[in-house]
A and B are shown apart, each in its own frame.
Chain A
Amino acid sequence: MNSLSDFVIVSAMLFGIGVYGLVTKRNALRLLFAVEIMINAANLNFIAFGQYLPFEGSAQTALPNAFGQTFVLFSIALAAAEAAVILAIVVVAYRLHRDVDVSELKSLEG
């Protein structure tokens, strides 16, 4: 549990679980869960690579390897905003259709 490939493998497993959820589930909230899991897999990769791989030119800029962590901070904030919007859409869809099954929401279908 100390080498870089361990974290990459955990991240790959989380991503696979997220893809499975996206393919299988039809409940809008479950889809949100799957997307959040995939976002976390990506964040884990960013932190792991930022912590292990040396950054070119980090000696000159005196900023060791904060880039991965900074990126993940922004990513977490974006994911929170996205979750808020999706939950609002779910509430509206439930109010209009009394259902959150995405295969039933066909009013926008061409």
Chain B
Amino acid sequence: MVLTVGSAIVALEAKEIVYGAIGLAGSLFGVAALFFLLDAPYVAVFQIAVYIGAVAVLILFTVMLVREEKWAKEAPATSATKIAGIVTGLAITIALVVAALDTNLDQYTTISNSATFVDIGQLISTGDAPILLVLALVLAASVVGALTLSRADREEPK
């Protein structure tokens, strides 16, 4: 929990953006650990594989690809913006926490028969199969779009 929240703050506040990317990876890893605590090992492994394995590496490569001293150490935000951000974030956090504590959430305990791989697989391959297909199309389209975007101006006349 401390790892998750602390790394999230590091991700946004680190001076060098490379350290910020590493902090983001740490935060995602902390969320994966919380998934393990919640008895959802399949989603936790999925999270590690996709986020730490793909997204964090992708972000690190982009950071190094477009790296430049000018914005690697970005200009600090004005103090008014910073105060506004802190106030907004704190207000939303406090509101959500108060709302959560005001309910009787703690009367519920973990369900004894938690979902297994088989349940998730059955759900994905039967009821949610259309979602899976659409999601595959979206993923393919977004990857193709990303590739097109990154090489678009290479074909323009010099």
Residues of A whose CB lies within 8 Å of any CB of B are 1, 3-21, 23-27, 29-30, 32-34, 36-37, 40, 43-44, 47-48, 50-54, 63-67, 69-70, 72-74, 76-85, 87-92, 94-96, 98-101
Please determine whether A5 and B146 come into contact, CB atoms closer than 8 angstroms.
no
Which residues of the partner chain B approach A80 to less than 8 Å between Cβ atoms?
50-51, 54-55, 139
22 A-B pairs, CB-CB below 8 angstroms? A3-B105, A4-B105, A9-B100, A10-B4, A10-B5, A13-B5, A19-B89, A29-B17, A29-B20, A29-B21, A30-B12, A33-B20, A36-B55, A47-B40, A63-B115, A63-B119, A63-B122, A74-B131, A76-B51, A83-B59, A91-B62, A98-B68
Q: Which one, A17, A36, A51, contacts B40 given CB within 8 A?
A: A51
Q: What's the A-B contact tally at a CB cutoff of 8 Å?
A: 243
Taking CB atoms and an 8 Å cut-off, the chain B residues in 91-135 that contact chain A are 92-93, 96-97, 100-101, 105-106, 108-111, 113-115, 119-120, 122-124, 128, 131-132, 135
Closest to B44 in A: A47
Nearest A-chain residue to B78, judged by Cβ: A24
Q: Cβ of B150: which chain A residues have Cβ within 8 Å of it? A: 88, 91-92
A contact residues around B50 at 8 Å (CB): 76-77, 80
Among B74, B90, B101, B113, the residue within 8 A (CB) of A64 is B113
Beta-carbon nearest neighbor of B1 in chain A: A10
Query: In the bound complex, do residue B97 and residue A52 qualify as a contact, i.e. CB atoms below 8 Å apart?
Result: no
Measured between beta carbons, the chain A residues less than 8 angstroms from B70 are 99
- A50 to B70 CA separation, bound complex (whole angstroms): 45
| B71 touches which of A8, A10, A12, A101 (Cβ 8 Å) | A101
Closest to A90 in B: B62
- On whether the beta carbons of A17 and B74 are closer than 8 Å, the reply is no
Task: Give min CB distance, A14 to chain B, whole Å.
Answer: 6
B12 to chain A: closest residue by CB? A21
Q: Is the Cβ of A4 less than 8 Å from the Cβ of B111?
A: no
Please, which residues of chain B bring their CB within 8 A of the CB of A87?
58-59, 62, 146
Contact A24–B58 (Cβ < 8 Å): no
